[in-house]
Amino acid sequence: MTTKSQIFIILLTAFLIASCAEDMPVSTYTVSTGVFSNSLMIEGFVEPVNSISITTPRVMSGGIVDFLVEEGEYVEEGQVVCIIKSQNFETQYEMMLLSLENAEVGIVKTQADMNMQLALLEAQVRTNDADTRMAQMDSLQLAFRSPNQRRITELELEKAAIEKARFEKKIAALKVIQQHEIRKLQLEIQRFSLNIQQLKEYIDALTLKAPKSGIIIRGTNPRTGTKFKPGDQAFGNFPIATIPQFDQMKVKIVAPEADFKSISINDSVYYTFDAMPGNTGKGKILKKPPVGQPLNQIVMVGDGMYMIQRSNVKIFEVEASIDSVTTIPEPGFTANCRVILKQEKDVISIPQIAVFDDDSIKVVYVQRKKGFEKRQVLTGVSSLRESVIKAGLEDGDIIALSKPKFSLVKELITLPDSLIQQLQTPAAPPPTPENRPPPPPGMMPNQLRITN
């Protein structure tokens, strides 16, 4: 019994709900000619058209951002914006300073050693000269000596002459060698000095200064996809920050692939800005990238460890102009972008919910004095909310937004096949309705009445 009672109550409740629903009035919509607009709402952010880039040196090697001005901070011309530490450059610089010091000490030592060798040779030359003079003094007594003694004295004089010539050649050669070695060390010192100067310039170039006064916008790290911050690795010849010029702005729209395919170059765009209520603007689509970028995500993989996870979803950065605006927005402001995908003027458009499928045709329910008539319509371009009616309705018609009860529908009106063919294939020649009878009074032209 309990089960039967529950079933009875459920059926009674359903009957009452259905009865109430049938008695509820049908919502209607008055047809009028106007502008049909198919638009797309998507977010973007404001960027300057022109900006001054603060770029890292091209020759930078293994640099780490040690200091970077905060996002949005105003800097004066010549103010330090970023300091990059390069361990490689600093190590090379210290090694070059040590090499230069060693080379300078080496040239002093080499010169002292050679001067000592030259002094020894000169001392030997003076000794030889003394020996020669002594031998020459002994030559006065050669007449009173034996032939052997005379021969020995003559040979000693010859030996002294040979030794003198040899010492003189060694002194001359030593001076040439000394000049060569000194010159070699001087060139090495010069090379070290040039390398030190160049490395010093490289290190000084890692302190980036503002070329012009303005607001700092940090650059995007290509590895993390986020703004640069202290501790990040810096890349050679890469913009670490920019200083926007506020005379002209643009909007960068980050569109998913489905929306990107719907957008075309020169589509009109209307803007509103969350941070500036009441501020509106207008522009158009300027650029569409040929390829999209994968939507990367930074995920935590451990204690303080992160990794970039690549996604199959792609995003496209579409560029749009700001041709007119109430107040110029600042860079970084979020823009609500209404992209006009399709627009037609002087057409009849009705809500999509008012169009119903009836077998193979589209119909609407037009309100009459008593009930509704089911009328075939031919639709054109449409959006998620509205549809253009090419034939079947006219200004002032009142249509139902929901399907009326069957008992309220009095008749069906269909469109002639010739009219459908003409509107669906505009390139084909239109039919010639010479023998077509005139429509009954109170009926729209080119419509056929069928009564239930």
DSSP character string of 248-312: SEEEEEEEEHHHHHH--TT-EEEEEETTSTT-EEEEEEEE--SS-EE--EEEEEETTEEEEEP-S
Asked if residue 285 and residue 143 are part of one domain, the reply reads no
309 lies in some domain:
yes
Q: What is the CATH number of the domain that holds 79?
A: 2.40.30.170
Residue 393: pLDDT band (50, 70, 90) is: very high
Name which of 244, 240, 242, 243 is nearest 84 in CA terms. Answer: 240
Over 70: is that where the pLDDT of 406 sits?
A: yes
Residue 7: pLDDT band (50, 70, 90) is: low
Question: What mean pLDDT do residues 290-308 have?
Answer: 64
Sign of CA dihedral 226, 228, 231, 235: positive
Task: Say if CB 396 and CB 407 are below 8 A apart.
Answer: no
Asked if residue 318 and residue 243 are part of one domain, the reply reads yes
Last residue of a domain, one of 202, 228, 256: 202
> What pLDDT is attached to residue 348?
92
Over 50: is that where the pLDDT of 176 sits?
A: yes
Paired tokens of 432: 């010639």
Residues pairing with 413 in the sheet: 375, 449
67 vs 420: which has the higher pLDDT? 67
96 lies in some domain:
yes
Residue 111: pLDDT band (50, 70, 90) is: confident
Asked if residue 282 and residue 334 are part of one domain, the reply reads yes
Asked if residue 437 and residue 367 are part of one domain, the reply reads yes
Range from 45-49, 130-134, 157-161, 168-172 that averages highest in pLDDT: 45-49
Over 90: is that where the pLDDT of 163 sits?
A: no
Residues 6 or more apart whose Cβ sits within 8 Å of residue 332:
45, 46, 72, 217
236 lies in some domain:
yes
Asked if residue 195 and residue 123 are part of one domain, the reply reads yes
Where in the sequence is the domain holding 327, given as residue range(s)?
41-86+213-340
Side chain identity, residue 107: I
The fraction of the chain above a pLDDT of 90, given in percent, is 29
404 vs 225: which has the higher pLDDT? 404
Range from 4-8, 85-89, 266-270 that averages highest in pLDDT: 266-270
> What pLDDT is attached to residue 251?
95
> What pLDDT is attached to residue 118?
72
CA distance 298 to 221: 13
3 lies in some domain:
no
Asked if residue 117 and residue 263 are part of one domain, the reply reads no
Q: How far is CA 96 from CA 89, 194, 200, in A?
A: 10, 10, 11
Residues pairing with 47 in the sheet: 250
What's the mean per-residue pLDDT of the chain?
80
> What pLDDT is attached to residue 51?
85
Question: What mean pLDDT do residues 158-170 have?
Answer: 73
Structurally, how many domains does the chain consist of? Answer: 3
Asked if residue 72 and residue 221 are part of one domain, the reply reads yes
Asked if residue 380 and residue 357 are part of one domain, the reply reads yes
* 5-14, 258-267, 290-299, 329-338, range with the lowest pLDDT: 5-14
> What pLDDT is attached to residue 264?
92
Alpha-carbon torsion, ordered 13, 19, 25, 29, to 10 deg: 80
14 vs 93: which has the higher pLDDT? 93
Asked if residue 80 and residue 217 are part of one domain, the reply reads yes
Last residue of a domain, one of 170, 202, 234: 202
19 lies in some domain:
no
What predicted TM-score, i.e. pTM, was given to this entire model? 0.50
163 vs 405: which has the higher pLDDT? 405
Question: What mean pLDDT do residues 397-408 have?
Answer: 90
Asked if residue 189 and residue 100 are part of one domain, the reply reads yes
Q: What is the CATH number of the domain that holds 403?
A: 2.40.420.20
Over 50: is that where the pLDDT of 59 sits?
A: yes
**Residue 199: its H or E element:** helix 147-205
Task: Say if CB 205 and CB 63 are below 8 A apart.
Answer: no
Last residue of a domain, one of 340, 373, 391: 340
Q: What does DSSP assign to residue 50?
A: S
Go through 48-69 and write b for each residue having 16 or more CB atoms within 10 A of its CB, e for each that does not.
beebbebbbbeebeebebeebb
Count CB neighbours of 141 within 10 A: 11
> What pLDDT is attached to residue 430?
47
> What pLDDT is attached to residue 207?
92
Paired tokens of 56: 């890292």
Range from 9-13, 300-304, 356-360 that averages highest in pLDDT: 356-360
Task: Say if CB 55 and CB 82 are below 8 A apart.
Answer: no
Which tens digits make up the pLDDT trace of 256-295?
A: 888 899 899 999 999 999 999 999 999 999 999 988 887 7
> What pLDDT is attached to residue 450?
42
Over 80: is that where the pLDDT of 55 sits?
A: yes
Asked if residue 306 and residue 218 are part of one domain, the reply reads yes
Question: What mean pLDDT do residues 354-382 have?
Answer: 90
> What pLDDT is attached to residue 442?
46
Range from 106-115, 288-297, 393-402 that averages highest in pLDDT: 393-402
* 77-86, 123-132, 166-175, 367-376, range with the lowest pLDDT: 123-132
Name the E strands within 88-238. 207-209, 214-215, 217-218
Name which of 213, 245, 242 is nearest 227 in CA terms. Answer: 242
196 lies in some domain:
yes
8 lies in some domain:
no
Residue with tokens 């012009």: 212
Asked if residue 323 and residue 359 are part of one domain, the reply reads no
417 lies in some domain:
yes
Residue 169: pLDDT band (50, 70, 90) is: confident
Paired tokens of 242: 């920019």
Name which of 282, 283, 293 is nearest 260 in CA terms. Answer: 293
Over 60: is that where the pLDDT of 38 sits?
A: yes
Question: What mean pLDDT do residues 421-436 have?
Answer: 57
